[in-house]
Structure 1
Amino acid sequence: MIRQADIKDASSLAAIGLEVWLHTYLHNGVNAFFADYALSHFTAARFGQLLSRQNEHILVAQDTVGIVGFVHISSGAKSPVENCSDLEIVTLYVQSRHQHNGVGQRLLEAALRHCASSGRPNVWLTVNAENERAIGFYLKNGFERVGETQFQIGDQAYPNHVLRFRFR
C-alpha cells in the first residue's frame, strides 16, 4: 500500500534512508567521513522537520509490519540545469529485500501522479553517475538525461546525472 507519510513515520524513514544509502554507496567499508554524513543526515528529527513543511511531500510503501520504501518530493527546488521546473524527486529508496517486486515502480508512479497534479510541466531528479541500476530504472520509466551536477559531502564532490520527466 502506498500512503502519505506522517510524523509517526519519521524514525522509520530515517532507518530506511540510512540502510539504503549505506547499502547503495559504501561498497568498500565505512569510514568516519561517510558515517558522520549518514548519521547526521538520516535522523528522525530531520524527517520530522521535512514532514512539517508544506513544500515537502513524502509517500511511503507500507508492508504488513512497516514501511519498506519511500519517495520524497520537494517543490520550490532549484534545478542545477535549465528547463526544469522547481519540482524535484529528492529521494526514492526501497529496502534491498523489497526491490524487484514492484515497490519502487509503485512509489515512482504515485510520485509522478502527485507531481502531475501540481500543474508543472516536468519534474527532475539527480542520480549518482555510477548507480547504473537506478539510472536504467528512471530511463525505462520515461526520464531523460538533461545535464550533470555534483553531490557534495563536505569538501568532496561526486558526479550526478540530472534526469527530467516531462508530463504529456
Structure 2
Amino acid sequence: MTDQAQIRTATAADAARLSLVANATFLETFAGTISGDALVAHCVKEHDAGHLAALIESGARAWLAELNGAPIGYALLTKPDLDAAQTGDIELKKIYLLSQFHGTGIARDLFQAAVDGAYGFKRLLLGVKEDNSRAIAFYTKQGFKQIGTRKFDVGGTLYDDVVLARGLTPFA
C-alpha cells in the first residue's frame, strides 16, 4: 500500500467510483448551505453511475484522484452548457476533493490533469457558486476571470453562480 494519491483517467467502467466520490464531495461541500432535499435530488440525478457512464461514453472526460484505491476526488470535462460559451470552449463541469485532502496539492494535480485533458481547446470555462470564496480564490489563482453569471439548478432550487474562463495554451 502507498500513501501517495494517484490521479488517473476514468472510463465508463469507473462510473460507480465516480458516483460515490461525486456524492460524498457534493454533500460534504454543500450540506448545511443547500436544502437537504435539493442536495439529495441533485445527487440522485446528476451523480447516478448510469448518467456518469453515459456522459463519458458520449465524449466527456473524467479523472479520479485515489488514495490506496479509494476515490477521494474527481474532475469532469464536458461540452459547455453555459450561455457565455463560444466555439472552441470546454467546460470543467465538476472538480471536487474530499476536504481532508485540501491543501495537500492533490486538487492542484487533479486540476492540472483536467487542463492537460482540455488540450486543443481555446478556453476552459466553469461555474461556481457565487459565495464559494475558497473555490473562487483557487480558480483566480489558476488564471480564471469572471465572464458572466448563471442560475444553477440543485434539485429544483436555483442558485447564483459566477462563470469563469481562462485561456488554454497554446491559444491563451
TM-score by length of 2: 0.85
* Residues 1:9 and 2:10 are matched in the alignment: no
Which of 28, 31, 35 aligns to 2:36? It is 31
The match for 2:157 is 156
* Residues 1:46 and 2:47 are matched in the alignment: no
Task: For 2:36 and 2:137, locate their aligned partners in 1 and report how far apart those are by CA, in whole Å.
Answer: 29
Shift of 1:28: 5.5
CA contact (8 A) 1:71 1:108 kept: yes
What one-letter code is carried by the residue in structure 2 that aligns with 1:96? S
SS of 1:109's partner is: helix
Task: Provide the identity percentage.
Answer: 23
Quote the RMSD (CA, aligned, Å): 2.0
The match for 2:116 is 113
* Residues 1:88 and 2:118 are matched in the alignment: no
TM-score by length of 1: 0.87
CA contact (8 A) 2:148 2:163 kept: yes
SS of 2:103's partner is: coil
- Aligned residue pairs total 164
Which stretch shifts more, 28-37 or 136-145? Answer: 28-37
CA contact (8 A) 1:79 1:85 kept: no
Higher relative contact order (CA 8 A, sep 6+): 2
What one-letter code is carried by the residue in structure 2 that aligns with 1:104? A
Task: For 1:102 and 1:95, locate their aligned partners in 2 and report how far apart those are by CA, in whole Å.
Answer: 12
Name stretches of at least 5 consecutive residues in structure 2 with no aligned partner.
1-5
* Pair 146,29 (structure 1): closer, same or farther in 2 beyond 3 Å: closer
Name stretches of at least 5 consecutive residues in structure 1 with no aligned partner.
none
CA contact (8 A) 1:84 1:124 kept: no
The match for 1:58 is 62
SS of 1:81's partner is: coil
What one-letter code is carried by the residue in structure 2 that aligns with 1:102? G
